[in-house]
Structure 1
Amino acid sequence: MFVYTVVKGDTLRNIAERFGTNTRELLRFNEMDSQDVLVPGLHLLVPGETYLAAPYQVRSGDTFSSVALKSGVSLRDFEYWTGLRESQGAKLAPGSTVYVPKRVTRKKTVETNGYLLPDGTTSDGNLLRDISTLTYVSIFSYQVRADGSLLAPKDQFALTGAQQAKIAPLMTVTNFDGTNFNTELAHTVMTNASLRRKVFNSILKMMKQKGFRGVNVDFEHMDPPDRPLYNQFIRELKAFVRPSGYSVSIAMGPKTSDSPQASWMGAFDYRTLGQEVDFLMIMTYEWGWVGGPPMAVAPIDQVKAVLRYATSVIPANKILMGMSLYGYDWKLPYVKDQSRAAGISNNSAQNLALREQVPIQWDAKAASPYYRYRNQEGEDHIVWFDDAMSVAAKLQLVYDFNLRGVSYWVLGNEFPQNWYLVKDSFEIKKM
């Protein structure tokens, strides 16, 4: 598929005509609320050859034609992709970064995972049946209790839907106590051999009973001194469940070096854990978060830094890169320790920009879109989210780092552009 950047004066009809399609198809690919309103900077998926996005740093002497030639596309397609029109006075500034189309010539086979917080209704199954591009669904979550038992979510409809959609279900086990990831709970479980055994028995029994294909451990906010205990916990869990044919995977926070005493991240021993598990999910998102200052949820420069370190100590074919299906809407001005952003699905963020009729900006360093608007109460807001272009840039990293695949947090946030791009850019492995 091709990413088209809307410029002033565009209509959905004339864009459709340029690419030999119709407005109905463009509305389907991009799930827009209306075909009557477009805004500059909007990135639309349109039918075409398979492309992802790669950064190009403009050099002195570069021209539109020369960069298009280096990218392997026509000048017309280069301008359509970037939204830069030489005839309208656009310039390529030396030192600036432009995301250019990169053709996918041979599709890589990958695995994809999506985390699901089931609500115990038929909507869980319907959601999974609508997404054909998942290898796994990780049911979030089975909460470990201090007595070694597990508090299970209402996942019967989700498991039925996964089976019908040929998506392998993973049982996500956490130290979440219903309010927070509990540091002391994780410590208690990991330090007591008999309690660990009870937890392992509970996990194995539940996987057999419900038809899970593996266990996915997501222990968070662990004390750094518990690092060797967590390594031991995962090692023993693998020895306990693997003989029965179950996979063992984990979710880990992102980091760019190994600092064993660092709060939260210090407990994750990338090298050792990478050796123990079958595969793992790295949570390469939440730089922009509900309580933090406005910024991209997953800035690509930060994501790359994490992947560079991770692939230096973990086999790349074990790594699923984390991707977010949501953005945040901050009221301005941001006040540290007081402001709280509102979560918003990426598709809703796109359509909010259309309703407010505000242009969408592009941060080249983060490879992320954002925009500002003023609501009916006169309050200023800024929204950071992901769109077709930012996803195309992140999915290219799967090729660049030769990763196992991608993992999404969290299903239920609408983002059709992502699923169309994934399906178009890869062969999805089914278990």
Structure 2
Amino acid sequence: MDHVSATRARPGLALVLTAVALAGPLAPAAAAAAPPGTEAGVELATDRRSVSAWLPYWGDTEAAYQDALEHADQLHTVSPFWYEASADTVKAEDGAGNEGIIDGLHRAGIRVVPTVTETAGPAEMAALMHDPRRRAAHVDALLEMAGSRSYDGVELDYETMATTNDRATLERVRTGYNLLTRDLCARLHTRGKECVITVLAHVRGSGAAYDYQHLGKIADTVRIMGYDLHWSGGEAGPLSSKDWYEEVLRYATDTIPRNKIEVAFPGYGWDWTKGSKGRAGHLTWKEADSLRKQTGADYHFDAASGTPHFTYRKNGADHEVWYQDARGVAEQLPLLKKYRVRGTGLWALGFEDPEVWAALRGQ
């Protein structure tokens, strides 16, 4: 889903790290781990497991953690949704840096690469990223966070900066983000840590804030959010579709090495109220499946998109729910096979249809 909106609906921020003040020494640098130098579209052999997943800090964190452990044989990376950056600070969400979770995931053979979102708008972020001093301070703050625990890297999920239709501002965001990610990835690599960049799908006018070709060169992994084709603020419809994935993957594999691409599937859905101007309500797969059963709604599957949906009536209003389940993921995975992309992701642990793991294993 819209990761940024998800965090803003949740309470609690703690532990402020002021970027300008973060000039102190970091932990000793590990051996450099530069990303493979490959050409976009080249399929490379890899022995890594093929699934990453986000771990939300809200809701039942323990259940999400146990979900990760239960599927440790498939997961290569878990990204706890723990940090939020403003222009000059990096803040930790409630429960961030839980060493019990970090150590438990490591014992299970899962890498821990925490997610950082950002709150500054497009113009503010563009100004920061084009200012060498402020950009360096921002990178210092991220590196300080990365060294605060036994993390294996950092994931940037900067989406707020991409929310503009002003072409000039968008171009400054794109070029500024190239500078920021160049600096961050290089310094992470000198410390032996991964640099993961999450992006909106570059399709149908979306995702223009991200220079896929540049990110494919400097990042270890580029995670593409393969959802919200229809979103909470728009018309009802599938969160993703086969033809949409076709467009997403065609562009991605033309610009990013295939071994660096991850396409994340949704474990959630949206509940639209017909005739309402309000935003749709968020439902995890578990909540959607429970709601369908409680209301006695018929399960429908849209073969064209590869997604389930149903309708129900409540308090005199008609509702339309679209979401994703294991059947839908299994229907859409052949698109990844067609483009020889092995990397998959899941938003988010604890949200999903339990059978989705069997579907992902079959890829």
Instruction: Say whether the fold is shared (TM-score over 0.5).
Output: yes
1:140: which partner in 2? 81
1:63: which partner in 2? none
Q: What is the TM-score when the length of structure 1 is the normalising length?
A: 0.65
For 1:124 and 1:199, locate their aligned partners in 2 and report how far apart those are by CA, in whole Å: 30
Give the aligned residue type for 2:114. Answer: M
For 2:154 and 2:343, locate their aligned partners in 1 and report how far apart those are by CA, in whole Å: 18
Match of 2:70 among 99, 106, 130: 130
1:240: which partner in 2? 187
For 1:138 and 1:388, locate their aligned partners in 2 and report how far apart those are by CA, in whole Å: 22
Q: What is the TM-score when the length of structure 2 is the normalising length?
A: 0.76
TM superposition shift of 1:297: 0.9
Match of 2:108 among 152, 161, 165: 165
Match of 1:416 among 340, 346, 354: 354
1:229-287 CA-to-partner distances (Å, cap 9, x unmatched) read: 11111111122121111111101111237xxxx6x632211112211211110112111
1:26-82 CA-to-partner distances (Å, cap 9, x unmatched) read: xxxxxxxxxxxxxxxxxxxxxxxxxxxxxxxxxxxxxxxxxxxxxxxxxxxxxxxxx
- 1:302 aligns to 2:244 (yes or no): yes
The answer to whether the 8 Å contact 2:202/2:208 transfers is no
For 1:267 and 1:357, locate their aligned partners in 2 and report how far apart those are by CA, in whole Å: 43
1:218: which partner in 2? 157
For 1:116 and 1:169, locate their aligned partners in 2 and report how far apart those are by CA, in whole Å: 10
For 1:128 and 1:240, locate their aligned partners in 2 and report how far apart those are by CA, in whole Å: 29
1:56: which partner in 2? none
The 1:305–1:211 alpha-carbon spacing in structure 2 relative to 1, beyond 3 Å, is same
For 1:330 and 1:252, locate their aligned partners in 2 and report how far apart those are by CA, in whole Å: 25
For 2:281 and 2:117, locate their aligned partners in 1 and report how far apart those are by CA, in whole Å: 25
Give the aligned residue type for 1:242. Answer: H
1:228: which partner in 2? 175
SS at match of 2:147: helix
The 1:113–1:358 alpha-carbon spacing in structure 2 relative to 1, beyond 3 Å, is same
SS at match of 1:353: helix
TM superposition shift of 1:109: 6.0
For 2:75 and 2:198, locate their aligned partners in 1 and report how far apart those are by CA, in whole Å: 17
TM superposition shift of 1:326: 0.1
TM superposition shift of 1:370: 1.2
2:6: which partner in 1? none
The 1:407–1:122 alpha-carbon spacing in structure 2 relative to 1, beyond 3 Å, is closer
The answer to whether the 8 Å contact 2:241/2:332 transfers is no
The 1:125–1:115 alpha-carbon spacing in structure 2 relative to 1, beyond 3 Å, is closer
1:127-150 CA-to-partner distances (Å, cap 9, x unmatched) read: 433332321111224222333x31
For 2:358 and 2:243, locate their aligned partners in 1 and report how far apart those are by CA, in whole Å: 24
- 1:190 aligns to 2:135 (yes or no): no
For 1:343 and 1:279, locate their aligned partners in 2 and report how far apart those are by CA, in whole Å: 28
The 1:281–1:289 alpha-carbon spacing in structure 2 relative to 1, beyond 3 Å, is same
The answer to whether the 8 Å contact 2:139/2:180 transfers is no
- 1:366 aligns to 2:308 (yes or no): no
1:39: which partner in 2? none
For 2:181 and 2:269, locate their aligned partners in 1 and report how far apart those are by CA, in whole Å: 32
2:260: which partner in 1? 318
For 1:404 and 1:204, locate their aligned partners in 2 and report how far apart those are by CA, in whole Å: 29
Match of 1:284 among 203, 226, 230: 226
Match of 1:384 among 301, 309, 322: 322
For 2:280 and 2:86, locate their aligned partners in 1 and report how far apart those are by CA, in whole Å: 31
Give the aligned residue type for 1:352. Answer: L
2:200: which partner in 1? 253
For 2:345 and 2:245, locate their aligned partners in 1 and report how far apart those are by CA, in whole Å: 13
1:53: which partner in 2? none
SS at match of 1:354: helix
Q: Over the residues paired in the alignment, what is the CA RMSD in angstroms?
A: 2.5
The answer to whether the 8 Å contact 1:144/1:173 transfers is yes
For 1:122 and 1:388, locate their aligned partners in 2 and report how far apart those are by CA, in whole Å: 23
Number of equivalences: 305
The 1:121–1:140 alpha-carbon spacing in structure 2 relative to 1, beyond 3 Å, is closer
2:292: which partner in 1? 353
Give the aligned residue type for 1:234. Answer: T
1:315-347 CA-to-partner distances (Å, cap 9, x unmatched) read: 221110121110112222x34xx1321111123
1:293-321 CA-to-partner distances (Å, cap 9, x unmatched) read: 11011122112211111111212211101
Give the aligned residue type for 2:102. Answer: L
The 1:188–1:152 alpha-carbon spacing in structure 2 relative to 1, beyond 3 Å, is farther
TM superposition shift of 1:165: 3.0
For 2:101 and 2:228, locate their aligned partners in 1 and report how far apart those are by CA, in whole Å: 26
Aligned sequence identity (%): 29
